[in-house]
Amino acid sequence: MKPLAIHPERTTEPAERLLIDVRTVADLLTVSVRTIERMVKNREFVQPIRLNARTVRWSRAAVEAWIAERSAAAVDVGPSRTLSLLPISEG
């Protein structure tokens, strides 16, 4: 019997997946799952992709772009302050 072929293009590491779950998103942002849910509800974060009635995922690329956008717009607030990941207000 021949062993099953391993597909190097398929990864099992969450950091390399194209679609990621809410726990992975929360880990990337170092916030709670509830914070992600609240941000999605308030349209302050990337909207998830609904795969079926009970399963949603986020595009890893979209999440990383969201983070990069906020990082690029961040102002140096000094070592004793924390930067917010909330939407950047215009005006």
Longest dimension (CA), the chain: 67
DSSP assignment of 41-58, as one string?
HTT-SPPPEE-SSS-EEE
Question: What does the angle CA 10 – CA 15 – CA 20 come to, to the nearest 5 degrees?
Answer: 85
Q: Which of 15-19, 41-45, 67-71 has the lowest mean pLDDT?
A: 15-19
Tokens of 16: 């390399």
Q: What are phi and psi of 34, to 5 degrees?
A: -60, -35
What confidence tier does 72 reach under pLDDT thresholds 50, 70, 90? confident
Q: List the chain domain ranges.
A: 15-72
What confidence tier does 61 reach under pLDDT thresholds 50, 70, 90? very high
Task: Give 30 or 2, the one with higher predicted confidence.
Answer: 30
Helix (H) or strand (E) holding 59: strand 56-59
d(C-alpha 33, C-alpha 26), whole Å: 5
Q: Are 23 and 34 in contact (CB under 8 A)?
A: no
**Average pLDDT rounded to a whole number, residues 6-35:** 80
CATH of domain 15-72: 1.10.10
What digits encode the pLDDT tens for the residues 23-50?
999 999 999 999 999 999 999 999 999 9
**pTM attached to this predicted model:** 0.64
